[in-house]
Structure 1
Amino acid sequence: MKQKIYITLLLLGIVFCSQMGYAQIDYNKTPDDDLGEVEDLEQEYFFEALKQKGIENYDRAVTALLKCIDLDDSKSVFYFELGKNYNKLKNFGAAEDALKKAVKMEPDNEWYLDELYDIYAQQNEYDKAIKTVKQLVKYHPDYKEDLATLYVRIKKYDDALEILDEMDEEHGLSPTRDLLRNQIYELTGRKKEQIENLEDRVEDNPDEESNYLALIYRYSENDEKEKAFETAKKLLEIKPNSQLVHLALYKFYLDDNDPEKAIESMKIVLQSSHIKPEAKTLVLVDFVNFVSQNPQYEADLVEATAMITDENSETSYLEVAQYFLKKDDKVKALEYYNKALALNSDSYGILRNILLLQIDLENYEQAEIQSRDALEKFPSQPLFYLINGVALNKLNKPKDAIDALEMGQDYIIEDPKMQAQFYNQLSTAYTLLNNTSKAKTFSDKAKQLESSN
C-alpha cells in the first residue's frame, strides 16, 4: 500500500483557516451567540485528539473527536481522524462507518480513500477493497499493483495479468510485478504461457541479461534442457563477459560430457564478485562431487578454491576438507580445516576435526597446544580435555595428563563410551608413572563400561 504522506498540520489549516474570514468584529456590540466559544472548544478537542493519538492513547483520542463532532458534524477531517483511531484500536466496523462519512463529504480525497482501503485490506474484504482501489488508481498508478494483487486473492487471474501487462507496457519491467506474475503462473499451472512471456521479452529486449536467465531457469524447470542450453549459449554470444550465465552453463557442459568447459564455467562462478556466496557454495559442492568421480581434475578443484575470497570462503574450505577426508588424505584435509579455522576461530566443529586429525597424524605437540587453546574457548567440552590428555600422555607428561583428564571427567554427561576413553587414558598415565595399582583400577573400569555397552 502506498505510504501515506498526510500532514496533520496541513489538514488543520484546511479545517480552521477557512473559519478566519469572519466579518470585522464590532467590539461595542453585545454578543448574541457563543460561536467563538464553540470554535475554541473544537480546536481544543481536536488538538487534544492529535496529542493523544501521538502518544498512542487512541481511546482518549476517540473521545475528543466525538466531542468535536458533537460541536460540528460538518467537518470531514473529524471523521477521518476518528476512523484512523478506530483502526488503531482494531474496531474496524466503527472505523469503516467514520471513514465512509468522511469519503461521502469529500469523495475525491485520496487520503480518506486510502485509509478506508486499509480497513478493507486488514479484514480481507477484497470486493470492497477492489472498489476502493479502483477509485485510488486515478490518483496514483502505483495502486494498480495493489489491484492486481487483490485480483489474485479472489482468483481473477486474467484480470490480474491484464493489469500487470498494462503496467509493464507503461513503466517497464518490475521485480515485484514479476514475482506476482510468476505466482499467478504457478497457481494456474500456465507454464507454457510463462515461457512464452519470457520468450517475448528476450525477443523484444535482446540485450537484457535477466530475461535470458529467467528463460533458462524456466526451460530447465520444465525439463526443456536443450532449449535452456541453447538460450545460455546465445546469452554468452551476446554478452561474452556475463558471469551469471555460467551458473547454468557448467551443469549443461557436465551433462554434455564437456568437463573442460564445465570446469572453466565453475571457476568463473567461484571467483565472480556478482554471484552470491550461497550460489557459489552449491557450485562448489557440484565441483567436489564431480572431482570425486574424476580425480584427475583435483588440481582444478584446489585452484578454484583458492580463487574464493568472499565471506563464504569458510564453507568452501570445509567442502574441500571433506573431499580430502573421504579420500583418506588427512594431511590435505587438515590443511583446509586450518584455512577454515583462520576465518572462524570460534567454531567448535572445525576445532574438533582439526584436533582429531592432529592425533591421527601423531602431531602430538600441535594437538596439545591447540587443545589447550580450545579449552580456553570451550572450558566445558570433555572431548578437548580427552584430546589434551592423549597428547600429554604421548609427550610423556603423565602428571599433566592426569590433571586434564580428571578435570574433564566432571563435564561428561551420560556418555559411557567417552567415560571409558577417559579411564583408558588415566590408566595409561598411571602406567607411565609406574603406579600399576591405579593403572589397573582405571583399566578395569574402562573394560567394565566397554563390556556393558
Structure 2
Amino acid sequence: MKNPGLAYRKKEFKTGNVVAALFLISFFLTHDVYAQKQPPAAKPLTVLDSMMVKQLFFSAIREKTIENTKHAAEMFERVLQTDPANDASMFELANIKKGQNDYAGAQPLLEKAVSINPNNEWYWAALADSYEKSNNINKLEHVFNQLIRISPEKPDYYFDKANAYVILKKYDDALKVYDQLEAITGTNDDILASRQKIYLKQGKVDQAAAEIEKAINNNPGQMRYYLLLAEIYNSNGLADKALKVLQQAEKLDSNNGMVHLALADIYRDKKNNDASFNQLVLAFSNPDINIDQKVRIISGYFPKFPDAGAKSSALELSRVLTVAHPADAKAFALYGDMLLQNTKYKEAKAAYKKSIELNNQVYAVHEQLVRIELSENDMEATIKDGENALSLFPNQGWMNYMVGVAWAQKKDFKKALGYVNNATSLEIQDKDLLSLSFSLLGDCYHSLNDNKSSDAAYEKALTYNPDNAYTLNNYAYYLSLRGEGLDKAALMSARSNELQPNTPSFEDTYAWVLFKQKKYAEAKVWMEKALAHDKENSSAKYEHYGDILFYLGNTDAAVANWKKAKGYGDQSPALERKINEKKYIE
C-alpha cells in the first residue's frame, strides 16, 4: 500500500534548469568532488584519468541541462567506469533514474554515494526521497538520523522522521522525536497538532485533549485552540464536552465567526435547528469569515428546496451576507438568486442590479436580471439591460434571443430579426434555444409578410424540437389564415392540444383550422372549449364562434356572438359588416 508521503524538502534539481545545474557544479567544486577519499582497495587515478573524468562530468552536466538525459546518463556511467568512487556522478545518475521513476535503480547509487561521502546532506535527502517513493519506509529512520546529524537545526527532518514512525505505527517513537524537536524549537502549533494526531490514532482522546488544554492554559485568548479541542471532542462522540468548550470560547470572544460556525454545527447535530441558525447568522455577520465559505454553507440548503423553511433560511443568510460584504458583487448575486427562489422578483432585480454595479463582468447575473424583466413583460427594461449586457458579452445566444423577443413584442420585427439571427449563429449545441429562436424567426417573418421565410423557420424550429407546442400552434394558425397546407396544419394543431391541453389559444387555432377545412361541427366543439377555458373574453374567439355558427345555419346566434366580439373591443370594418349584413364576411 502506498504510504501517505513525507514532508521533507527534496534537494534534487530539475533537469534542464540551467541555474540549478551551474549551482550544483559550483557546489561540487567547493566540496572538492574530484579529490574524494577513495575506497581502500581503489587504484589511484592517473593524472590523465583524472582529467578525463573531470571533462566527462562537466559534459554530462551540460547534456543534462539541455534535457538530453540519455546521453548525460551514458557519460555519468563512463565516469563511474573510470572512477567507481565518484559520488557526484552517482548522485547525478540517480537523479536521472528518479526522473524516469526508476527508484529501484536510483537507490543503490545513492546508498553508495552516502557511504563514500556521508556528510553530504543532498545525498541523504535524495536517498530519503527514493526510499519513500519505493515504500521502503523502514529504512528511513537511519536516513533521517543522518540528516539530523548533519543539520540538527532543521525542524523538517525531525518532522519527517516522526512521520516515518507514524507510517510504521511506531507512535511512541514518534512522540519521542517531537520531544527532541520541542527541546530545540520550543512548543509550537505544528508539534502540538502532530502530537494530538498520534494520541488520537492510539485512541487516547484524553491525552490528545490534554495537549490542547495545556495550550489553552498557556494562551487563553487563542481561539484556534478552543476550536481544535472542540473538534477533537465532537469527532469522538463527545458533543457535550465540545459544546462546553465552544460556549467558553464564545464568552471570551463573542465576535469570533469560526466559533459561531462550530457552534452551529454542534447545535445542528443536536437537532436544535433554531440555535444552529442563530449561530449561522452571527457567523455570517462577521466580515472576517471568507465569503466563499459562507456561499458554500448557503449552497448546502439548495438540495432541500423547494422546502419553504430551507428557502427562507437561505434567503435570510444571503441577506446578512450583503450586510457583511457590501462591496462584494458575489453577495448580491447570491441574494438575488435566493430572492428569486422565494418569488420576490422586484427585490431580486434590485439585488442583481447592485451586483452588476459592483462587478459587471459576470454574465450569469445579467442573464438572470433580463429573464425576470422579460417574464414581467417589461420590454423597455429588457431591451435596455439586455443591450447593455450584449455590449459586454456580444456572443451570448440567450441574451440575443431575449432582446429579440422584446423587440418583437414592440412590433419592431426587423430589429428582432437581427438579434434572433445572432442567437442562431452563435449557438449550435443548445437545441432548446435553437428551437425557440427559429420559432420566433417564423413569427417575425410572418409579420413582415415573408411567408416563405416564415415557413422555413418554423420547419427548422421543429427539427430541433418537434413537440414545441407554441411553434406547432403558430405555424398551424398562420397556414390556416392563408388557407394553405390545412391537413398539415390540422395535425400540428391537434398535437399542440395534446401536448398542452385546455389552452384556449391552442383550442381556438384548432377550431379555426377545422373551420377552414369546412368541418363546422367539429370546429364548434373546439371553439366552445376555447371559450370555456378563456378567462380574458377574447373578441377574436367570439368572432370565430359566430363565423362557425353562421355556417351551421344559426344566423341569430352568429350575430349575437359577433356583437359580443364588438363589445369586447373588436372594431374592424369586416366585423361591422357581419353584424349589419348578418352574414359571414371573409
Q: TM-score, normalised by structure 1?
A: 0.73
Question: What CA distance in whole angstroms lies between the structure 1 residues aligned with 2:196 and 2:329?
Answer: 31
Q: Summarize the Cα distance change of 1:135–1:384 in structure 2 as closer, same or farther, 3 Å threshold.
A: same
Among 467, 472, 475, the alignment partner of 1:423 is 472
Q: CA deviation at 1:299?
A: 9.3
Q: Give secondary structure in 2 for the equivalent of 1:275.
A: coil
Q: Give secondary structure in 2 for the equivalent of 1:202.
A: helix
Q: CA deviation at 1:50?
A: 1.2
Question: What CA distance in whole angstroms lies between the structure 2 residues aligned with 1:66 and 1:296?
Answer: 72
Among 390, 400, 405, the alignment partner of 1:373 is 400
The equivalent residue for 2:290 is 276
Q: Give secondary structure in 2 for the equivalent of 1:115.
A: helix
Question: What CA distance in whole angstroms lies between the structure 2 residues aligned with 1:192 and 1:249?
Answer: 21
The equivalent residue for 2:328 is 310
Question: What CA distance in whole angstroms lies between the structure 2 residues aligned with 1:437 and 1:2?
Answer: 81
1:188-203 alignment, distance < 5 Å: 191-203=205-217
Question: What CA distance in whole angstroms lies between the structure 1 residues aligned with 2:238 and 2:123?
Answer: 51
Among 344, 353, 361, the alignment partner of 2:376 is 361
Question: What CA distance in whole angstroms lies between the structure 1 residues aligned with 2:76 and 2:203?
Answer: 51
Question: What CA distance in whole angstroms lies between the structure 2 residues aligned with 1:207 and 1:344?
Answer: 42
1:238-277 alignment, distance < 5 Å: 238-249=252-263, 255=272, 257=274, 262=279, 265-269=282-286, 272=287, 274-277=288-291
The equivalent residue for 2:492 is 445
1:396-411 alignment, distance < 5 Å: 398-399=447-448, 407=457, 410=460
Q: Give secondary structure in 2 for the equivalent of 1:7.
A: helix
Q: For structure 1, list consecutive stretches of 5 or more residues without a partner in the other structure.
A: 20-33
The equivalent residue for 1:42 is 53
Deviations 1:367-392 (A, max 9, x none): 57746535657534454466678999
Q: CA deviation at 1:321?
A: 3.0
Q: Summarize the Cα distance change of 1:437–1:311 in structure 2 as closer, same or farther, 3 Å threshold.
A: same
The equivalent residue for 1:321 is 339
Deviations 1:50-78 (A, max 9, x none): 11222233332232223323333344333
The equivalent residue for 2:224 is 210
Question: What CA distance in whole angstroms lies between the structure 1 residues aligned with 2:450 and 2:222?
Answer: 66
Deviations 1:29-60 (A, max 9, x none): xxxxx944333212111111211222233332
1:61-210 alignment, distance < 5 Å: 61-138=72-149, 139=151, 140-164=154-178, 166-167=180-181, 170-174=185-189, 184=198, 191-210=205-224
Contact 2:107 2:130 in 1 (8 A): yes
Q: Which one-letter code corresponds to 2:103 in the other structure?
A: F
Contact 1:250 1:265 in 2 (8 A): no
Q: CA deviation at 1:335?
A: 4.6
The equivalent residue for 1:12 is 29
Q: Which segment drifts farther, 408-417 or 8-17?
A: 408-417
Q: CA deviation at 1:4?
A: 2.0
Q: Give identity over the alignment, percent.
A: 19
Contact 2:345 2:372 in 1 (8 A): yes
Q: Give secondary structure in 2 for the equivalent of 1:213.
A: helix
Contact 2:60 2:71 in 1 (8 A): yes
Contact 2:281 2:317 in 1 (8 A): no
Higher RCO, Cα 8 Å, sep 6+:
1
The equivalent residue for 1:2 is 9
Q: For structure 2, list consecutive stretches of 5 or more residues without a partner in the other structure.
A: 1-7, 13-22, 37-44, 387-397, 402-419, 501-586
Q: Summarize the Cα distance change of 1:411–1:137 in structure 2 as closer, same or farther, 3 Å threshold.
A: farther
Q: CA deviation at 1:11?
A: 0.7
Q: Give secondary structure in 1 for the equivalent of 2:32.
A: helix
Q: Which one-letter code corresponds to 2:143 in the other structure?
A: T
Q: CA deviation at 1:112?
A: 1.9
Q: Summarize the Cα distance change of 1:162–1:451 in structure 2 as closer, same or farther, 3 Å threshold.
A: farther
Q: Summarize the Cα distance change of 1:63–1:428 in structure 2 as closer, same or farther, 3 Å threshold.
A: same
Q: Give secondary structure in 2 for the equivalent of 1:73.
A: coil
Q: Summarize the Cα distance change of 1:292–1:202 in structure 2 as closer, same or farther, 3 Å threshold.
A: farther
The equivalent residue for 2:241 is 227
Deviations 1:253-295 (A, max 9, x none): 78385699547504423xx1x3223321244457998994499
Q: Summarize the Cα distance change of 1:330–1:452 in structure 2 as closer, same or farther, 3 Å threshold.
A: closer
Q: Summarize the Cα distance change of 1:399–1:306 in structure 2 as closer, same or farther, 3 Å threshold.
A: farther
Contact 2:221 2:252 in 1 (8 A): yes
Q: TM-score, normalised by structure 2?
A: 0.59
Q: How many residues are matched? A: 428
Q: Which segment drifts farther, 421-430 or 282-291?
A: 282-291
Question: What CA distance in whole angstroms lies between the structure 1 residues aligned with 2:341 and 2:244?
Answer: 33
Q: Which segment drifts farther, 329-338 or 139-148?
A: 329-338
Contact 1:388 1:401 in 2 (8 A): no
Question: What CA distance in whole angstroms lies between the structure 1 residues aligned with 2:374 and 2:490?
Answer: 21
Q: Which segment drifts farther, 362-371 or 227-236?
A: 362-371
Question: What CA distance in whole angstroms lies between the structure 2 residues aligned with 1:163 and 1:413?
Answer: 73
Q: Summarize the Cα distance change of 1:398–1:384 in structure 2 as closer, same or farther, 3 Å threshold.
A: farther
